[in-house]
Amino acid sequence: MLNELQELLTRALRALAQATSMREVEDVRVQFLGRASGELNAFMAQLPKLPADQRREAGKALNDVKERITEAIAERAAELEESAGREAPALDLSMPGRQTWRGGRHPVTLVIEEIEGIFRQLGFTIALGPEAETEWYNFGALNFPPNHPAMDAHDTIYLSDDVLLRTHTSPVQIRTLQRWAPPIRVLAPGNVYRRDPFDASHAPGFAQIEGLSIDEGVSFVDLKATLTHFAREFFGTAITRFRPSYFPFTEPSAEMDVQCRLCKGAGCSACKGTGWMEILGSGMVHPAVLEASGVDSERYSGWAFGMGPGRVALQRYGIPDIRALYDTDVRVLGALSE
């Protein structure tokens, strides 16, 4: 056995001398000292079979060979590391360091939180609901006629015959009215989905915030006063206007515009040359919606609005194209969230 151990040591030292990389050094270690298939383990297994008077000498020889190989591995590894250090190119300390981008909250998230803060000060609470809705909650309870084009498959994403991805957060209003008795003031933020083209001002999936106020004696004056207050709190000295519009779930209805902050009202591609940017739709809640939710429309009235925080973010940060919010360009998102 002693001669065989000496031969094993010679082969191990020769293999280490020929190793030119740390990977090859590791291969030598596994070949000779590996626990599973190392050659030295084979000698270890033979040790108990030796006569008692030979075991002591053989055991000492095994330990000496193992220690010698271990030292040789460490020495060769140190030599290779030192050689690699000498060959590495010198660092140019005059070069500027690379700037790292720190993660930040998405601009739309910041806008949503700011909007929620403004309406919380007015007594609104946050209400949430499922993104997969039934056709009744998404359309029927909101006074959509059965043949309304918004219910067609080219506008709405259906998951089954009666289940769809909600096209607005208005179903949350219905669920709130069914669960709680007036007075009610809620804000419903969430994601909605439509088959819209992905262009400068539209996206197929986007965030939306809707508000609902129901009580006795609520009028259109309350709607205009509240939303005008919001615009001034959010945009500062914003110039706003209300335009008559139509929505199945409100009557009368109006859209609220703010003067385009990109072109200062002169007209640009973002505002389609009008000088105004629509930020929300609103109106007095239709009596049919109240009745569908189990609320007495003779006693109670209310108003509602819906806005896209993405479009509001365009105005807040001066972004001409909404696609910049979805392209995950860290240079853009990092600059906006600072």
Per-residue pLDDT reduced to its tens digit, 240-254: 899 999 999 999 999
Task: State whether 76 and 116 are in the same domain.
Answer: no
Task: State whether 31 and 112 are in the same domain.
Answer: no
Task: State whether 182 and 290 are in the same domain.
Answer: yes
Residue 215 belongs to some domain of the structure: yes
Residue carrying structure tokens 């070949």: 31
Cα angle value 255/257/260 (rounded, 5°) = 155
Give the C-alpha separation, 218 to 19, whole Å. Answer: 86
Residue 92 belongs to some domain of the structure: no
Task: State whether 74 and 162 are in the same domain.
Answer: no
* pTM (whole model) above 0.75: no
| Domain limit, last residue, from 56, 87, 118 | 87
Please write the tens of the pLDDT for every residue from 75-92.
888 888 887 666 556 667
Task: State whether 321 and 220 are in the same domain.
Answer: yes
Q: Domain containing 295: what range?
A: 107-336
pLDDT of residue 189: 95
- What are the helix and strand counts (H, E) for the chain? 11, 9
Residue 311 belongs to some domain of the structure: yes
As a residue count, the chain comes to 338
Residue 100 belongs to some domain of the structure: no
**Alpha helices, DSSP H, located in the chain:** 2-18, 22-33, 39-46, 52-87, 107-120, 135-138, 170-179, 220-235, 287-292, 309-317, 330-336
Total domain count for the chain?
A: 2
Give the C-alpha separation, 304 to 308, whole Å. Answer: 14
Give the C-alpha separation, 87 to 67, whole Å. Answer: 31
Task: State whether 122 and 45 are in the same domain.
Answer: no
Residue 227 belongs to some domain of the structure: yes
Task: State whether 120 and 188 are in the same domain.
Answer: yes
Please write the tens of the pLDDT for every residue from 26-46.
888 888 888 767 787 777 777
